[in-house]
Structure 1
C-alpha cells in the first residue's frame, strides 16, 4: 500500500516484514507550456527543460558525488539517471516519467550517509507556469512501482509559483538504517550548483 507523505514527514524504510529498502526511484512527469497564438488565435507549445539531480554526501556532510544530466552514473554505479529530457510532454500528459533517477542502496558506497533529490528548471521557467508537473519518490524500478514514499504536484501548488528550483527529499542513514525526509520545499536558487549549497547548509 502506498504511503503518500505530507511535506516534512519522516519515515523509516524498514518494511513490515523486516526486510530492508533496496531500490528507490524518483520520477518526474511534466508538460510543455501552452501559449496563445498571435491575436489569440491557436496555440503553440513551449518546451520545458526540468532537471532532476541526486546529491550524495558522507557522514560529515561532505559532498561525495552529484548525478545529473551531465553525469548519468555515480562513481560506484549505484545511482543512475535516465538522461536529460529537454521538452516535457509536447502532446499532453502521457502519464509517464520524463526523467527517472534510480538508487540501489545495496551497492551504494558505505561512506554515503545522505542521498538528496533536487529539481531545477534549466531555462528558468517558473514552476507555476508549467501546465502539469508531478513528482513521485517510490520503491521499485523505472517500470515498476512497489511503494510510493512521496508525491508532489508542483504545477498546481501556490507554494512553487515564482520558483525554479526545489528540494524534493533526502534519504539519510541513522544507526545503519535508511530513513526518508519528504521535504518538498522550493528554494530561491537559479542553478544546480546553488541548490547543492542550499541542501548542504539547510536540509541535511
Structure 2
C-alpha cells in the first residue's frame, strides 16, 4: 500500500518487507488548465519543469538535474525529458516527467537531494486542475510498486505561486529519508528556487 503523504511528513525509504529502497523514481503528473469561453471550454497547455538539486552536508549546491541537464555528474540521477503540455485530455494516470535516483551511485558528498517544479510560462498553481508527485520502484515507463504519493495543486494557498518545493531526500545516520514539503515559493527562475531550498528547506 502506498503512503498518502501529508505536508511536512517524514518517512524512511524502507519497504514493508524491511528492505531499503535504493533505486527510486520520482514522477510528477499534472493537467492542462481549462479556460471557459464563448465557444465552450478550451484547454491551455501547462509547461511545468521538474528539477532536482543536489547539496552536500554544508548545504552547498554541488549539482542540478533539469530539462537543461538530464543527468547528474555522477550519473546517479536521470531526467526523462521535458513535457511541454501536461495532460490535455484529463488525468491519464501517467507521470509527465520522471526523475530516477540510484542512491548507491550518488557522489559520497551528497547529503540532500531536493525536488522542485517551476511553471515555465508563469502559469499559476492554483489554476492547474491537478498535480501530484509519487515515489515508486520501477522505471520511467513501468511502475513496479508505488511507495508514497501526494497531491500538490489546486489550492487557494498556491495563488500567485509559479514554483514549488516538492520534497527533500536527506541522509541521516547513513540512511536516506524523505521529507514531503509541498510549499509554493515566489521564485520565477530555477536558480532562485535552488537558493530558496538552500536557505529554508534543508
TM-score between the two structures when normalised by the length of structure 1: 0.92
Q: Does residue 167 of structure 2 align to residue 175 of structure 1? A: no
Query: Structure 1, unaligned stretches of length 5 or more?
Result: none
- Residue 12 of structure 2 corresponds to which residue in structure 1? 12
Partner SS, residue 118 of structure 2:
strand
Indicate the residue corresponding to 2:150 in structure 1.
151
Determine if contact 1:6/1:150 at 8 Å carries over to the other structure. Answer: no
**Shift of residue 23 of structure 1?**
1.3
Cα 1:96–1:19 change in 2 (3 A) is same
Q: Name which of 72, 90, 113 aligns with 2:88.
A: 90
The answer (yes or no) to whether the contact 2:4–2:150 under 8 Å persists in 1 is yes
Structure 1 residue 128 and structure 2 residue 112: aligned?
no
Structure 1 pair 107/126, CA: closer, same or farther in 2 (3 Å)?
Answer: same
2:160·2:186 contact (CA, 8 Å) conserved in 1?
no
User: 1:14, 1:21 within 8 Å by CA — same for their partners in 2?
Assistant: yes
Q: Against the structure 1 CA distance between its residues 128 and 60, is the aligned structure 2 distance closer, same or farther, given a 3 Å change threshold? A: same
The Cα shift of 1:99 comes to 0.5
- 1:198 aligns with 196
Question: How far off is 1:16 after superposition?
Answer: 4.7
Offset of 1:154 from its aligned partner? Answer: 1.1
State the 1:44 CA deviation: 2.4
Q: Is the 8 A contact 2:67 2:82 kept in 1?
A: yes
Of 19-28 and 172-181, deviating more is 19-28
Measure the CA separation in 1 of the matches of 2:64 and 2:197. 12
Residue correspondences, number? 201
Structure 2, unaligned runs of 5 or more: none
Does residue 44 (structure 1) correspond to residue 42 (structure 2)? The answer is yes
Alpha-carbon distance between aligned partners in 1 of 2:2 and 2:14, rounded to the nearest angstrom: 14
Alpha-carbon distance in 2 for matches of 1:19, 1:92: 36
CA deviation after TM superposition for structure 1 residue 137, in Å: 2.6
Q: Distance in 1 between matches of 2:41 and 2:130?
A: 17
1:5-33 deviations in Å (ceiling 9; x for gaps) = 22111122234544222112211111222
Conservation of the 8 A alpha-carbon contact between 1:50 and 1:122: yes
- State the SS of the aligned residue for 1:159: helix
